[in-house]
Each structure stands twice: as structure tokens, then as C-alpha cells.
Structure 1
């Protein structure tokens, strides 16, 4: 089942079905318990009425048991012998004995017998009974379920057992029953109603869940459809529709659009990078090819120095492009501990061809105050690019200052050139950007040095900024955090 709507509808239906079944079973159990208790109360009343007559020494044959079909009665003595039963009782179970034929105990006193000293009126009036001398137990009666057959009709009953003591001290137990037919009919009716209503309720739940889920997932389907269209058209300028709600779907749409924006920007940068790289590579390659072709046709006209310069420029450009590709691929900087002052001195000492001497000022307030963590080659490349930029624009002086600052170290490269206009101080760090477009490319470079420097600084947890240097010139500051 691949549809979210179908799974949601099925899950909701199953949960509701389980809840309804559990609630229905609980309701049936409670209903059955209540009706059984009511039947037990009726049986107790009937049992106590008969026990009261026994306590008053009413003869067994004259016991009034009420409606025999509704309340079958069985009386047993201490030995379990049946001494009395209600009229038309043919069979019984659940009372401890299934006998229904009275067997008076041998020691039982004559109840309503003919003794010659009493006339028929005395017999009719129950003479010989000594009211008030027997008693009925006040203990909680015992209850049980069983069956009884009265006048050929067999039914289930709830029996209550009550003890009584007659005037002769004989303890008798009265088992009186109350029918459970009403309880069974009620439980059956409720169960049938629940079973009949359950499929209808489940169909309603499934239908409502399906419709609600469909409505809730409609924006998701719109997002999916638009994403499929974007994939098919490769048009990253398109955006998915954002619902007006503030729920998870709306947040998903906004996040998707933000991702599309970032992807579009990344693809645009990549396209510009490829186009600019192709353009930058075309010039030295074309120049080198021209010189080689001229040299092949006229060896005496071969400009070896120019060919070497073009080759060097091509090599530097290729190295810059490879470094940018590694940075874009997420290359992580190294974890070597470096002393920034020593790294700057070493880099400056190797620059023997600079047209303007570089002054180096290192101020370390304490040992280790200029230590940083990172890639030695990449940080040396940043310092070299900053010095190249300063040499390209300086008039008479280039200064490098290294100092500790705010939990890290700073390398500040200052020149006395024309400076960087404030409006261009962000754009100069973009790739293939030159502010001196009028210059020849051979003099101005490819416009990748500052872009590489900022990318490397950012990946080392630092930053690269530019500001003015007094009345004229520019000051580039590289801040790197201390060892971690």
C-alpha cells in the first residue's frame, strides 16, 4: 500500500475499530454485571422471604415461594438433604445438589401433623409454630449461577443462598433463584446493535480520514508536481507553491524554495565559473599556440620569454582553478599548528622578483601568541595572493604586519596604491572580478587571488576584510582563530 492517504485511512480505521471493540466489550461486561447484580438482589429477596418463614416454623409443605417460575426455591439441611422445593421444580443445578425430591430429616419435628390434641382449625392456623424463636442469618448471601427446569421450561438463574435456623435449632439453607433471561436478552440486543453499527462507523471513519488526508496532502501533491516539472524543464528559476497555512507542509514548501534558490545560485556560479575559466584559459593558450606556430614557421622570430610567461600564467591559472574546485568540493583544512609570523617571513623571503620591497612587522606579546591551526600550503597561498595584489597596485611601499588579536592572529597587508572604492569592497572577493578592467590581462591577473584567499580564510574559521589605508592605498586584514 503505497498511498499515504490509504495508509492513514487504514491506520485510523484499525485504531478506531480496536477502540470501539474494547469500549464495546467493557460496556457489555458492565451491563452484564449490573443486570446480574439486579438478578442476585431479586434472588436474595426471595431467599430471605422463604428463610423468614422457616425461622417462624412454617411447615415445609406450606412455604410460600411466590412465583415458582420466576423464583425457584430449594431448601437443604445441614447434611445437604433436600427438605423442601418450590412447586413444579423438576431439575436444578448450581446450588450444591441437583435433587428436587424433598427428604425431611429424621429428627425433624412434625410440621402440621395430626396429634389428637389439636383440631383442624389449629392445623389451618399453623398451630405449634413458635414465632420469634428461630432466626435468619444476616451474613452476606452466597451467589452462584445455574439452571432450573420449572414445569418443563429450562432457564438460567442467579441463585442466592441464605441460612435460617428454626425453633428446634436446625440450620437450613434456602437457595432461591432469579431468572437471567432479561440480562441475556439485554446483552444480546446491545451486542447485536454494536455489531451492526461497527461497520458503519468504520466506513465513516475511513471515508472521513481519506477526505481529510487528501485535503491535507493536496499541497504536498502540488509541490511534487511542480518539482517534477522543474526536473523535467531544468528551469531552476521556478518555485513550488507555498500554502497560506503555517503548518508543516507550508514549512516544507518554504524550505524547498530556499533549497531551489540556493541550488539556482550554485548552478549559476558554476556556469559563470566555467564560462570565465574557459575565457581565461583561452587567452594564454591562444597566445602560446600563436607563438609556437610562428616559431615553427620562423624560428628566428620565436619569443621564448613570452612563451614561458604564457606557460607560467597558464600553470598558475590551472592551479587556481584546481584549488577552487577542491574548496567547492568541501576539502577540509589541515590541523597543523603554525606560527603565523614565521610563515609570513618565509613567504616574503621567497619573493625575490617583487618590484617593491616588502616590510614585515611582527608583534607577539607572548610566546605562542601567533599560533594558528590549519593547512600550511593553503595559508601560504592566501599570504602570497595578498602580496601579489599589493605588488600589483602599490606605488612605492608594501607592508605586512602580524599581530595577536581577540583570541587569534591577524595578518595585515597594506599598500599605497589607488585603494578600493567602498562600494566595491565586497565585489572584489568574487571570482574573476577585476576593478582595473582597462589593464591588459597579463598585468592584471585572472581575478581569482582574492576569491581564493577569502574562501580559504572562511574554511579555516577566519575572515578576510578590506579597508582604506589612510589617504590612499588599501589594507587587507586576515584574521585566523587560535589553536583549538
Structure 2
């Protein structure tokens, strides 16, 4: 199923169905156990009543067993011989023996040793004046044994709960009374409850499925609105549109806010990319057009070919292409190297290679080479070179570079005595293709990418690049990098 609503409704229905089935089975088991215990109690009462009569030596054929259909009775002796049964008992099972025909033992109550009538002997004894007490038996007080079985009384067969109670008559004969209580009421009650549960289960599951479907549809309605708006944004390519944000504070609202934040970041990224492409095209157009013009003139009039100008335009084009390539790699997430570098030594090396600077660079580096940092040697050298190029372009008479340890890292500061950077522009100058027309105007063909590259490289290395004033006149650029670990 592709629908979340359908899956949610099905899942909730299955879970509720399993829970209801488990609860129903537990309820049925508890109900059956309780009703079975009640039937066992009734059987125990009937068995003890009969056992009490046997303890009083009531003859077997005179035992009162109450309602034979409700409480069938079977009495057995120590040898398992059936000595008495209730009236109309035709068959029985579950009591240890299925015989229902009494076979009294020779010493049964009501019989003498010679098979004569014990009551007549007692009368004779009384006539003789003996006056002897025949004594009484007893009923066992132990917990009776219970079992389930069947009995057929007057042609009707039914299930019963049997209780077995022992009794001893006055002659010392131990008898076992098996009395039953019908389980028909228990079976009817369990069947009724089971039928009610089975009838109610589909209705309950249908209600659960319907409610879950409606609730899920209502909960997912904002998600569908977000999906629809995102589809429209994709079709129109209008990144200025935003998805609707629900007023709730749930996960859907957070999803909508995150989606809008992503769209904002994407729109900003696309805008920057478009500006970058436009600016790069503009910057590339000038040297290419100049170089083409010079080559066309040289082709038509070789004596007029400005070789130095053509070389300068080619170098400018080469530098611009290298800058654009480096920015593209940085935007693609290129990870910096992990080489350990002495920042002071790197600064001295970079300054020593600058033989064409119009102003000598004053270097202040610790004698030991300065603090160590971790990163890409080429990229960090590019940052230092860009900062020195910027200082040379705008300085009047002095350019200085210094290295020091600070805040668990290293700082490279480049200072010039030029016009400085207005405070309102100290963030914007790090944007790509940005040049300040008044204070820091381009005079040697810079494209406005040097400081942008320096800032991006510093950020990739976990550092930062800032600009401040240098006293009454000039600017100070400070590159901070974390120390190596």
C-alpha cells in the first residue's frame, strides 16, 4: 500500500484486533475458571452430604442424593468396587470407574456377617438388654479431588464437574463419594460471552479503522499541502515561493519550517551562483576581448602587435581562471590538507618570492618559525599572497606582515598605510567580485576575488579572516588559524 493513511489504519486495526483477541481469550479463561470453581463447590457440597450419611451408617439403598440430574453420585469402596449410585444414573466417566451397577461388599451397612439384616441383629441385642452403641464413622476434612467428566441420567448425557470426598463408616470401611455438578451453565455463559465478543469484534475494528483513517488524513493534510507546493515550486522553478506552515507546533510544522529554511538557503545559493556566473563572465570578457583585439590587429599589421599587452592580458586571464577554479573547488566542499606547517616559515618563504613588489614588506616572525597549524600548504600560501597583493595595491609607503600565537592558534596580520576600509564595508569586501570604488579602487586589474578566496580558505581551515583599522590611516587584515593537534 502506497498510502500512509491506509498503512496507519491497517496497522492500528491489526494492533487493536490482536489486543482484543488477547483480552477476550483472557476474559473467557477467567470466566470459565470462575464458573468451574463454582460448579466444583456445588459438587463438593453434594459429595460431603452423601459422605455424612455414609459416616452415619445409612444403608446404601437409603442414601438421599438430592436431585440426581443436578448431582449424580457414585460411591466406591477401597477396592474400587461401586457400592452405590444415585437414582437413574445410567453411565459415568471421569471418576476413575465407569461402572454404575452397585456391588455392595459383605460388610456393607445394613448387612450382617452372614448376610442377614443388621437391624434385626440390633433388635435382638436390644432384646437381650446389651444396650451397646454401634459407634459412628467420619468424613475426611482433606481438600477433595476434582475432575471433569460426563454422566447420563435418565437418558440425558451432560458434562459435569466431579468432587471426590472420602468417608469412613463405623466398621472402619473407607468409601469414596464422587458427586457431580453440571457444567451446562458454565458452557452457556462462556458461549454467550464468546458469541458477543465475536459479534462486536468486526464493529470495533471497523470503527478503529475509520477513526484512524480520518485522524491520519487530518494529520497528513498539511503534509499534502507541503508536497503540492513543493511540486509547484519544482515545476515553476520559482525558489521565492514557500510552503504553508501550520499553526501547530508538531512535527509537521517543524517539517514545513525546515523546508522553508532549505528553500531560503537554496534560493540564496542559486542567486549567488547566478551572480558568480554573471560576474565571472563579465570579468573574463574583458581580457578575452582585449587579447582578441590585439591578436587581430597583429595578424593584420604585425608591426602594431603589442606583445607585452597580450602577455599581460593572458596572465590576467590565467590568474582569473585559477581563482575561479579554486572557488569552484571550495564550493564543492574540498577538504583542506592535514600537513603540519610552521606559519612563520611559510610567511617568510612567501615574502621572499615577491621580487616585483613596489613596496618592501616588513616581516615580523618569531625566530623559531612561529606556531604550527594544520592545513593545505598551497591554499594557506595563497591566502598570504592575496593579503599581500591587496596591501601592495592600496598602500602608500609601507606594508608589514607579522605572525604571533593567540587564543590557542596562530595569527597572521597584514598591515598597510593606505586609505583603509570604511567600517560599513568591512563585511562586504569579502564577497566575490566586490571592489570599493573610492577607498580601495582597482588599479592593476584585480577582479575582486582575492579577499573572497582568502576568507573561504580560512573558513575551510576552521579559522577566520577579519579587517580593522590600522591607527589613523590604513587597514589591518588578521588571519586566525587553530593550532595543530
Under a length normalisation based on structure 1, what TM-score does the superposition of the two structures give? Answer: 0.94
For 1:185 and 1:126, locate their aligned partners in 2 and report how far apart those are by CA, in whole Å. Answer: 60
- Aligned partner of 2:301 in structure 1 is 298
Cα distance, 1:28 vs structure 2: 0.3
Counterpart secondary structure, 1:387: helix
Change (3 A) 1:54 1:392: same
> Would the aligned equivalents of 2:344 and 2:366 in 1 still touch at CA under 8 Å?
no
Cα distance, 1:341 vs structure 2: 1.2
Deviates more, 1:302-311 or 1:150-159: 302-311
> Would the aligned equivalents of 2:370 and 2:403 in 1 still touch at CA under 8 Å?
no
> Would the aligned equivalents of 2:366 and 2:403 in 1 still touch at CA under 8 Å?
no
Change (3 A) 1:385 1:304: same
Superposition map of 1:64-463 within 5 A: 64-111=64-111, 133-356=136-359, 367=368, 369-436=370-437, 443-463=444-464
> Would the aligned equivalents of 2:393 and 2:443 in 1 still touch at CA under 8 Å?
no
Counterpart secondary structure, 2:177: strand
> Would the aligned equivalents of 2:144 and 2:164 in 1 still touch at CA under 8 Å?
yes
> Would the aligned equivalents of 1:73 and 1:85 in 2 still touch at CA under 8 Å?
yes
> Would the aligned equivalents of 1:58 and 1:129 in 2 still touch at CA under 8 Å?
no
Change (3 A) 1:438 1:481: closer
Q: CA RMSD in A?
A: 2.9
Cα distance, 1:340 vs structure 2: 1.1
Deviations along 1:89-108, one digit per CA (max 9) or x if unpaired, are 00000000111111001233
Deviations along 1:409-447, one digit per CA (max 9) or x if unpaired, are 111110110000000000000000000279986625100
Change (3 A) 1:126 1:59: farther
Superposition map of 1:41-80 within 5 A: 41-80=41-80
Cα distance, 1:188 vs structure 2: 0.3
Change (3 A) 1:156 1:303: same
Deviates more, 1:68-77 or 1:429-438: 429-438
> Would the aligned equivalents of 1:345 and 1:360 in 2 still touch at CA under 8 Å?
no
> Would the aligned equivalents of 1:362 and 1:403 in 2 still touch at CA under 8 Å?
no
Counterpart secondary structure, 1:163: strand
Change (3 A) 1:457 1:57: same
> Would the aligned equivalents of 1:361 and 1:402 in 2 still touch at CA under 8 Å?
no
Change (3 A) 1:452 1:24: same
Change (3 A) 1:446 1:437: farther
Deviations along 1:139-184, one digit per CA (max 9) or x if unpaired, are 0000000000000000000000000000000000000000000000
> Would the aligned equivalents of 2:362 and 2:399 in 1 still touch at CA under 8 Å?
no
- Structure 1 residue runs without a partner (length 5+): none
Change (3 A) 1:122 1:195: farther
Change (3 A) 1:309 1:125: farther
> Would the aligned equivalents of 2:5 and 2:217 in 1 still touch at CA under 8 Å?
yes
Give the number of aligned pairs: 482
- Structure 2 residue runs without a partner (length 5+): none
> Would the aligned equivalents of 1:65 and 1:86 in 2 still touch at CA under 8 Å?
yes
Change (3 A) 1:127 1:283: farther
For 1:420 and 1:204, locate their aligned partners in 2 and report how far apart those are by CA, in whole Å. Answer: 72
Change (3 A) 1:223 1:192: same
For 2:440 and 2:250, locate their aligned partners in 1 and report how far apart those are by CA, in whole Å. Answer: 56
Change (3 A) 1:157 1:114: same
Cα distance, 1:110 vs structure 2: 3.0
> Would the aligned equivalents of 1:334 and 1:375 in 2 still touch at CA under 8 Å?
yes
Counterpart secondary structure, 2:443: helix
Change (3 A) 1:326 1:131: farther
Change (3 A) 1:186 1:127: farther
Under a length normalisation based on structure 2, what TM-score does the superposition of the two structures give? Answer: 0.94
Counterpart secondary structure, 1:11: helix
> Would the aligned equivalents of 1:57 and 1:129 in 2 still touch at CA under 8 Å?
no
Deviations along 1:19-44, one digit per CA (max 9) or x if unpaired, are 00000000000000000000000000
For 1:208 and 1:251, locate their aligned partners in 2 and report how far apart those are by CA, in whole Å. Answer: 25
Deviations along 1:77-130, one digit per CA (max 9) or x if unpaired, are 000111110000000000001111110012335359999999999999999996
For 1:227 and 1:153, locate their aligned partners in 2 and report how far apart those are by CA, in whole Å. Answer: 77
For 1:101 and 1:431, locate their aligned partners in 2 and report how far apart those are by CA, in whole Å. Answer: 114
For 2:363 and 2:482, locate their aligned partners in 1 and report how far apart those are by CA, in whole Å. Answer: 17
Change (3 A) 1:130 1:303: farther
Counterpart secondary structure, 1:441: coil
For 1:71 and 1:84, locate their aligned partners in 2 and report how far apart those are by CA, in whole Å. Answer: 14
> Would the aligned equivalents of 2:421 and 2:439 in 1 still touch at CA under 8 Å?
no
Cα distance, 1:368 vs structure 2: 6.3
